[in-house]
Structure 1
């Protein structure tokens, strides 16, 4: 699952696609179902983005 920029400005030369999840499996239906489950959960995506960016989450 890759997050795309949503901006009218052109990407900077060093911008890279952010891969938030990679899922492998023998059954394509299971893989697609798992990716779809993540894709429709904004909080799950946000957690993965933060994890990929190395952010530290605080429990307040």
Structure 2
């Protein structure tokens, strides 16, 4: 499950993946500039049902 999520983040441009050729192999993940953006700046389209009916604080 974790590897699938990480692959999706890399595919979507939200994370980077770096592999070191050591024994054992080391893999490092990091956020891209897009990954550091607030969710509201990344989200596009109409609001979800949850945000459209939730009360405002």
| TM-score (norm. length: structure 2) | 0.29
Q: Kindly indicate which of the two structures has a greater share of residues assigned to strand.
A: 2
Structure number with higher relative contact order (C-alpha < 8 Å, ≥ 6 residues apart)? 1
| TM-score (norm. length: structure 1) | 0.28
